[in-house]
């Protein structure tokens, strides 16, 4: 139901904006700037220094910079909002640069940015939620040992058992227990961040390719560190005639690299595409400035919201399933 309220909230905000713009035109504003829908979309799906709730309402976050020239610099992101300059630093297209005295960018200074950005704050929030959720479930198991589950435990237990018995165990085999904690954490981390991204002003964390790359690299390392000798034999000494090694070995090595790439790109592309579609729909209201278009967009947005909610679960499941299959293939016993 939260997604329905989100769409209604957006519709009200956009309708209000349309009415105010129409009244401003009636009062004598002859020229009106065209709505930059591409800029709006890229702004909302990208990362930034500060957490914008709505237009004009932004929660400042700490900016942490280090450079050899200036040392460690820590200040609020509000000091560099809207083109402001602080201690010679300015934010340009989401990147903080050092300025010369004449206002030009100092190309010789490249500050190392360790700031708490919108995506970093969202990652911290999701980590806290994961800890609270699983701590509560663990306490429930301890308190209700031998009894029927209650509360949050009763909600998550069927999901956890399904993931264990129908996803991880068939893909990995009898050694699944060693990898299940990581895979379960992976599933709920992606799921929680997918759902958080559906809220108004929600972060696009799993639609950030840097985040999906790190998740894919972790799976890649687990797969290749855990791989047995039969896995590597299949890569470097495939069961083919020797003269085909010149073809098969490069193909197998490409396959090793393509596995994490497929994980990274699939999650990034699907989540980002969903955000772009929804923001494009909302942008139509600004472009046409029509109650009729707004009503049509609101109805279609509700339908797309259900699709996005389904995608949030499906993409978390697919990432976990493929990671399980890659691990299972790497540790599979020789037959």
Share of the chain above pLDDT 70, in %: 90
- Is the pLDDT score of 172 beyond 60? yes
Question: Picking from 39-43, 116-120, 261-265, 321-325, which range would have the lowest pLDDT averaged per residue?
Answer: 39-43
- Whether residue 289 contacts residue 21, with contact meaning beta carbons closer than 8 Å, is answered with yes
- Is the pLDDT score of 11 beyond 70? no
Q: Kindly give the residue spans of alpha helices, DSSP state H, lying in 27-117.
A: 37-45
Question: Picking from 159-173, 198-212, 282-296, which range would have the lowest pLDDT averaged per residue?
Answer: 282-296
Give the model's pLDDT for residue 304: 86
- Is the pLDDT score of 222 beyond 80? yes
Structure-token match 């959720």, residue found: 133
- Whether residue 193 contacts residue 204, with contact meaning beta carbons closer than 8 Å, is answered with no
Q: pLDDT tens digits for 104-162?
A: 888 888 888 889 999 999 999 999 999 999 898 888 888 777 777 778 888 888 999 99
Task: Provide the whole-model pTM.
Answer: 0.83
- Whether residue 140 contacts residue 132, with contact meaning beta carbons closer than 8 Å, is answered with no
Give the model's pLDDT for residue 59: 85
User: In whole angstroms, what is the distance from residue 314 CA to residue 34 CA?
Assistant: 38
Give the model's pLDDT for residue 335: 60
Q: pLDDT tens digits for 70-112?
A: 889 898 888 888 888 888 888 887 788 888 888 788 888 888 8
Q: Does 24 or 303 have the greater pLDDT score?
A: 303
Confidence label for 54 from pLDDT (cuts 50, 70 and 90): confident
The Cβ of residue 69 has, within 10 Å, a number of other Cβ atoms equal to 11
Lookup: tokens for 308? 């996005």
For residue 75, the cross-strand partners are 63
User: In whole angstroms, what is the distance from residue 15 CA to residue 289 CA?
Assistant: 8
User: In whole angstroms, what is the distance from residue 322 CA to residue 327 CA?
Assistant: 9
User: In whole angstroms, what is the distance from residue 201 CA to residue 9 CA?
Assistant: 11
- How does DSSP assign 143-175, residue by residue? HTTTS---HHHHHHHHHHHHIIIIIIHHHH-TT
Give the model's pLDDT for residue 334: 67
Lookup: tokens for 323? 């990671």
Q: Does 32 or 207 have the greater pLDDT score?
A: 207
Lookup: tokens for 190? 């992606």
């Amino acid at each position: 139901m939260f997604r329905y309220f989100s769409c209604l909230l957006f519709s009200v905000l956009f309708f209000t904006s349309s009415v105010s713009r129409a009244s401003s035109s009636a009062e004598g504003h002859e020229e009106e700037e065209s709505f930059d829908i591409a800029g709006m979309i890229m702004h909302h799906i990208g990362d930034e220094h500060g957490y914008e709730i709505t237009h004009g309402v932004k929660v400042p976050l700490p900016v942490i910079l280090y450079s050899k020239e200036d040392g460690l610099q820590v200040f609020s992101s509000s000091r560099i909002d809207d083109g402001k300059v602080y201690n010679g630093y300015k934010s340009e297209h989401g990147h903080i640069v050092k300025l010369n005295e004449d206002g030009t960018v100092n190309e010789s200074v490249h500050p190392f940015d360790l700031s708490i950005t919108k995506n970093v704050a969202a990652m911290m929030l999701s980590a806290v939620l994961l800890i609270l959720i699983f701590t509560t479930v663990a306490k429930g198991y301890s308190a209700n040992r031998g009894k029927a589950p209650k509360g949050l435990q009763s909600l998550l237990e069927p999901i956890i058992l399904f993931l264990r018995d129908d996803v991880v165990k068939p893909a990995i085999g009898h050694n699944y227990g060693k990898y299940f904690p990581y895979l379960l954490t992976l599933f709920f981390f992606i799921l929680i961040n997918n759902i958080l991204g559906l809220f108004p002003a929600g972060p696009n964390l799993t639609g950030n390719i840097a985040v999906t790359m790190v998740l894919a690299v972790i799976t890649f390392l687990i797969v290749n560190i855990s791989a047995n000798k039969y896995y590597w034999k299949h890569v470097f000494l495939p069961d083919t005639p020797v003269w085909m090694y010149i073809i098969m070995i490069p193909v197998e090595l490409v396959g090793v690299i393509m596995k994490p790439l497929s994980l990274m790109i699939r999650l990034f592309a699907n989540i980002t595409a969903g955000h772009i579609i929804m923001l494009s729909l909302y942008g139509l209201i600004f472009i046409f400035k029509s109650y009729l278009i707004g009503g049509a967009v609101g109805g279609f947005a509700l339908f797309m919201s259900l699709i996005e909610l389904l995608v949030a679960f499906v993409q978390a499941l697919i990432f976990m399933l493929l990671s399980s299959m890659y691990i299972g293939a790497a540790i599979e016993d020789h037959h």
